[in-house]
């Protein structure tokens, strides 16, 4: 099946980016959200994306103007999906909100329409039944700033049809993504399945006083040739996100190591406004962190 027309449901941070990118690549895109006020915000968000497309992709003013001719906005789910071959859901990461949404969507979307969730942490099988068409449902997960961080993790659940999987892989490529097919459900997809344990191991080495931040990063950078060590990566992700994850684990498990780590992140960093790259300081000081100095990897 060929995807020609798509609907993006939820026009927040990711929804606006997905809609803009698909329209930039020539697709007709309906953008759906719960009220006109939010849709107006989405239009502003998209306007702000123009500068990034010019800077990162050399987009011309004419190309950017064309994007708007392919976008259509609606707060009526039936209208927004009446011509959709694919609906990409990017609404809040709350199980009940998503489940209710899929039940409504199932009633109004055409029978042939494929549904895809952009959820970062929830699994498609949690909503497969609510969609009323589990075989035409899967995950299509983008990264923030999709025009340059252009991975698309496409993940089946147990009863996703192979043909649907292949169609969505082809669609992801056609909007400029590097498609990463994932054959089975996996919390965290591929990227976070690799990244989260790495970052957590680094944090544990620190909190258990095994080694200092720079030592840990140097070991990773020299040993693997990576341009950033785990603590430099955490500064990019943001220490608040790291703290929320660790705090959640501390509360869920009562594990003293997680409790100590969450305390360290809070008192040494968050309470001092050191949230990472975005605030100019986290584990390192920016714009000239020590790990970019020429002698950092030499001794
Ligand atoms: P966001 O809060 O910026 O946007 C959510 C949008 O959904 C809002 O515009 C809201 O009005 C709308 N919404 C709320 N209820 C709705 C409903 N019932 N129907 C339609 N729209 C509704 O959220 P976000 O950061 O764009 O995240 C959306 C999804 O994308 C989540 O599942 C998240 O896990 C995933 N995601 C986020 C990122 C990220 O970096 N922000 C990255 C990858 C994936």
Residue 119 CA, ligand 1 centroid: distance in Å: 8
Q: How many CB atoms lie within 10 A of CB 24?
A: 21
Backbone angles phi, psi at 72, to 5 degrees: -135, 135
What pTM was computed for the model? Answer: 0.90
What value does the mean pLDDT take over residues 84-103? 97
Q: What is the largest CA-CA distance in the chain?
A: 64
Report the nearest-CA residue for atom 29 of ligand 1: 90
Query: Which residues make Cβ contacts (< 8 Å) with residue 225, sequence separation at least 6?
Result: none
Give the pLDDT band of residue 98 (cuts 50, 70, 90).
Answer: very high
Res 241 pLDDT > 90? no
Q: How many CB atoms lie within 10 A of CB 77?
A: 20
Residue 1 has which token pair?
A: 């099946």
What value does the mean pLDDT take over residues 77-95? 97
Residue 132 CA, ligand 1 centroid: distance in Å: 22
What value does the mean pLDDT take over residues 40-65? 97
In degrees to the nearest 10, what's the CA dihedral of 132, 133, 135, 141? -90
Best residue among 92, 122, 130 to mutate for probing ligand 1, ranked by most atoms within 8 Å of CB: 92
Query: Which residues make Cβ contacts (< 8 Å) with residue 294, sequence separation at least 6?
Result: none
- How far is residue 232 CA from its own chain's centroid? 19
- The pocket around ligand 1, CB under 6 angstroms, is made up of 9-15, 33-34, 38, 90-93, 97, 101, 118-120, 141-142, 144
Beta strands 151-155 and 178-182 are parallel
Res 201 pLDDT > 90? yes
Q: What was the pLDDT predicted at 47?
A: 96
Q: What was the pLDDT predicted at 68?
A: 97
Report the nearest-CA residue for atom 35 of ligand 1: 119
Residue 84 has which token pair?
A: 């959709």
Residue 126 has which token pair?
A: 């949690």
Report the nearest-CA residue for atom 21 of ligand 1: 10
What value does the mean pLDDT take over residues 204-229? 97
Burial of 203 (0-12, 13-18, 19+ CB in 10 A): buried
Query: Which residues make Cβ contacts (< 8 Å) with residue 177, sequence separation at least 6?
Result: 142, 146, 150, 151, 152
3-state secondary structure of 10: coil
Res 256 pLDDT > 90? yes
Give the pLDDT band of residue 1 (cuts 50, 70, 90).
Answer: confident
Q: How many CB atoms lie within 10 A of CB 126?
A: 16
Residue 12 CA, ligand 1 centroid: distance in Å: 5
Query: Which residues make Cβ contacts (< 8 Å) with residue 217, sequence separation at least 6?
Result: 202, 228, 229, 230, 231, 232, 291
Residue 221 CA, ligand 1 centroid: distance in Å: 34
- Enclosing H/E stretch for 181: strand 178-182
Question: DSSP strand E in 28-177: where?
Answer: 28-32, 71-74, 86-89, 114-117, 137-142, 151-155
DSSP state of 185: -
Alpha carbon distances (Å) from 60 to 16, 24, 98, 131, 216: 20, 11, 37, 39, 43
pLDDT tens-place string over residues 159-193: 999 999 999 999 999 999 999 999 999 999 999 99
H and E: helices and strands count for the chain: 12, 8
How far apart (Å, rounded) are the C-alpha atoms in residues 25 and 22? 5
């Amino acid at each position: 099946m060929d995807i020609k027309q798509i609907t993006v449901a939820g026009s927040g941070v990711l929804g606006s980016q997905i809609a803009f990118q698909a329209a930039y690549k020539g697709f007709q895109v309906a953008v759906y959200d719960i009220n006109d006020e939010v849709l107006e915000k989405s239009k502003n968000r998209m306007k702000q994306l123009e500068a990034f497309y010019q800077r990162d992709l050399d987009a011309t003013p004419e190309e950017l103007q064309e994007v708007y001719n392919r976008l259509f906005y609606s707060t009526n789910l039936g209208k927004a999906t009446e011509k959709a071959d694919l609906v990409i859901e990017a609404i809040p990461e709350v199980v009940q909100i998503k489940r209710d949404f899929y039940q409504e969507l199932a009633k109004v979307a055409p029978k042939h329409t494929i549904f895809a969730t952009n959820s970062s942490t929830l699994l498609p099988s949690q909503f497969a039944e609510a969609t009323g068409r589990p075989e035409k449902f899967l995950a299509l997960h983008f990264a923030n700033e999709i025009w340059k961080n252009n991975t698309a993790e496409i993940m089946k659940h147990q009863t996703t049809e192979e043909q649907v999987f292949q169609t969505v892989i082809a669609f992801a490529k056609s909007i400029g993504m590097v498609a990463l097919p994932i054959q089975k459900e996996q919390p965290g997809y591929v990227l976070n399945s690799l990244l989260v344990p790495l970052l957590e191991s680094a944090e544990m080495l620190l909190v258990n006083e095994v080694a200092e931040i720079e030592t840990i990063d140097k070991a990773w950078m020299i040993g693997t040739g990576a341009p950033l060590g785990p603590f430099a990566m955490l500064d990019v992700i943001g220490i608040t996100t790291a703290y929320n994850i660790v705090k959640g684990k501390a509360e869920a498990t009562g594990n003293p190591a997680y409790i100590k780590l969450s305390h360290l992140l809070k008192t040494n960093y968050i309470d001092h406004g050191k949230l990472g790259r975005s605030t100019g300081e986290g584990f390192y000081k920016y714009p000239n962190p020590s790990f970019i100095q020429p002698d950092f990897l030499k001794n």
